[in-house]
Amino acid sequence: MSKQQYHTIATLCIIVDDAILPTSHATAHKYIINHYEASKPTLAVALSKAWSSIYISFDGLHADNPLDMLSITAYYLDEQPRMKTVLLELKTSVCKLTPVQQFRRVASDYACGSR
């Protein structure tokens, strides 16, 4: 392999690595948030077709650092009917919304407030 060929291959590997591999500690967080946002419409459709009522639970996670979390989870039977559990929201508890306000916003996001 010539020096030029090696240089070309090495350059391509760097370009591919930068596009695929995380480049900072925030990259995984960004991937998860992007996936979550992209999944909202699909999940909204699934919730609208729920065979049962949609039950909601809140869960708090206390950490020894300032990253306490509050989650909102939905439980329902799908069209089959099979039990489904989906995470609707996960926020740090320093969020300025109360759990009720947070639920109302999530119910609006997924159009499932009346279920």
Mean pLDDT of 50-79: 83
Average pLDDT of the chain to the nearest whole number: 76
Q: Between 75 and 99, whose confidence is greater?
A: 75
Q: What does pTM read for this prediction?
A: 0.61
pLDDT of residue 52: 92
Tell me what the mean pLDDT of segment 66-77 comes to: 82
- Nearby residues of 104 by Cβ (< 8 Å), 6 or more positions away: 113
Q: What's residue 22's pLDDT?
A: 60
Q: How far apart are CA 59 and CA 72, in angstroms?
A: 7
Contacts of 69 (CB under 8 A, 6+ apart): 60, 61, 63, 90, 91, 92, 93
Q: What is the pLDDT of residues 20-64, one digit of tens each?
A: 556 666 677 677 778 888 888 888 888 888 999 999 888 877 777
pLDDT of residue 77: 94
Q: How far apart are CA 26 and CA 100, in angstroms?
A: 29
Per-residue 3-state assignment (H helix, E strand, C coil) for the chain:
CCHHHHHHHHHHHHHHHHHHCCCCCCHHHHHHHHHHHHHHHHHHHHHHCCCCCCEEEEEEECCCCCCCEEEEEEEEECCCCCEEEEEEEEEECCCCCCHHHHHHHHHHHHCCCCC
